């Protein structure tokens, strides 16, 4: 296996160092380099904090900045950040209005963020939102119930914008809980993940196979099928996502096609075009779009389709200015 790295053990630390130096106008390391935080904190604003294992970049560090996250904690590859990292993020970013923790529904993440919240509860006001947007839960080995995958970006953007506008901790909690049932994602892969530590691919596919329902930690999906043209693949994803969403006639939606690490932009835009036609045929009004590689599973050749049903207030929050390494508009 060939990787642009020195050792598997030092890869995450060296990558984070390069990230902070490349975006020093936006972010800094916290004390003892336990997390990456926003360089210029907004006093009196609820601090929005997230995190997870490395290997999902640009999530989460790429979303630290004005209008999104105040801090992100990164563990080793596909490994949850430790409670002391999360406590450090809370202590460095809470300017008096409390902290909102956005946590993907994976057992390690949930456990460690819960422990950190308990450790910091004596001196900080804390609320937690658990992201559960993955429609595929059959046979999931790292979570109980729906996993948190690409829909995490939508939650982080909307709640980050709401916090930037001055929304309080309790209101942010309610907004996050209201969003959760209206965001759904499904992924597909044509190749597994090469993990630096083990120097092996997490699952192998024959030339004529694809894996449906994959996670973002290199997990295989719930179904292995014969590889088919893009129209058929995207239709499978969209049909499952749409079937899992509440239907109330014509609704405003955000359509997000995400690359899992090894899929070129041309293929992502092709998939978006197919997905948009299918969603509009199902009576969704695609009011906003996002296409690109934002939530990865290292070098997995695959993509996911996320559909989020948003009201007018939430669409405005999506449009609000954001200035981060990975998302930047209106600033």
pLDDT digits over 8-29, tens only?
899 999 999 999 999 999 999 9
CATH number, domain 11-181: 3.40.50.10440
Architecture of domain 182-322+325-329 in this structure: 2-Layer Sandwich (3.30)
Give the angle subtended at the CA of 135 by the CAs of 82 and 81, to the nearest 5°: 5
Among 52, 21, 37, residue whose Cα is nearest residue 295: 52
For 69-109, write each residue's pLDDT tens digit: 999 999 999 999 999 999 999 999 999 999 999 999 999 99
Question: Is 124 tagged catalytic?
Answer: no
Question: In the beta sheet, which residues pair with residue 45?
Answer: none
**Dist CA 222 CA 83 (whole Å):** 31
CA distance 107 to 217: 12
Where exactly are the structural domains of the chain?
11-181, 182-322+325-329
Catalytic residue (one of 23, 56, 60, 76): 56
Contacts of 200 (CB under 8 A, 6+ apart): 1, 194
- Decide if 56 is catalytic: yes
pLDDT tens-digit map of 271-289: 999 999 999 999 999 999 9
Q: Cα separation of 102 and 273, whole Å?
A: 30
Q: What is the pLDDT of residues 216-274, one digit of tens each?
A: 998 888 889 999 999 999 999 999 999 999 876 678 999 999 999 999 999 999 999 99
**Among residues 23, 60, 76, 217, which one is catalytic?**
217
The Cα 36–Cα 72 span in angstroms is 5
**Angle, vertex CA 25, rays to CA 21 and CA 28, nearest 5:** 60
């Amino acid at each position: 296996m060939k990787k642009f790295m020195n050792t598997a053990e030092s890869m995450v630390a060296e990558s984070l160092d390069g990230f902070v130096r490349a975006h020093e106008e936006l972010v800094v390391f916290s004390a003892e380099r336990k997390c990456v935080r926003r360089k210029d904190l907004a006093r009196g604003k609820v601090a929005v904090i997230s995190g997870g294992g490395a290997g999902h970049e640009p999530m989460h560090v790429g979303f630290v900045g004005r209008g999104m996250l105040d801090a992100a904690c990164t563990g080793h590859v596909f490994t949850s950040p430790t409670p002391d990292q999360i406590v450090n993020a809370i202590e460095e970013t809470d300017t008096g209005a409390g902290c909102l923790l956005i946590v993907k529904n994976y057992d390690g993440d949930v456990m460690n963020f819960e422990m950190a919240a308990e450790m910091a509860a004596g001196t900080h006001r804390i609320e937690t939102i658990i992201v559960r947007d993955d429609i595929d839960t059959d046979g999931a080995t790292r979570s109980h119930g729906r996993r948190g995958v690409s829909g995490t970006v939508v939650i982080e953007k909307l709640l980050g914008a709401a916090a930037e506008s001055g929304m309080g901790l309790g209101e942010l909690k309610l907004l996050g809980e209201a969003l959760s049932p209206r965001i759904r994602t499904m992924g597909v892969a044509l190749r597994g993940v090469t993990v630096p530590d083990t120097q092996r691919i997490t699952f192998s596919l024959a030339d004529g196979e694809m894996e449906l329902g994959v996670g973002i930690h290199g997990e295989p999906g719930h179904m292995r099928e014969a590889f088919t043209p893009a129209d058929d693949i995207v239709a499978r994803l969209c049909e499952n996502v749409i079937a899992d969403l509440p239907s109330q006639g014509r609704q405003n939606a955000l359509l997000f096609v995400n690359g899992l690490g090894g899929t070129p932009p041309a293929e992502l835009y092709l998939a978006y075009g197919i997905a948009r036609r299918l969603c509009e045929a199902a009576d969704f009004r695609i009011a906003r779009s996002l296409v690109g590689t934002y939530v990865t599973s290292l070098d997995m050749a695959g993509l996911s389709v996320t559909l989020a049903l948003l009201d007018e207030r939430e669409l405005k929050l999506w449009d609000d200015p954001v200035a981060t390494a990975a998302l930047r508009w209106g600033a």
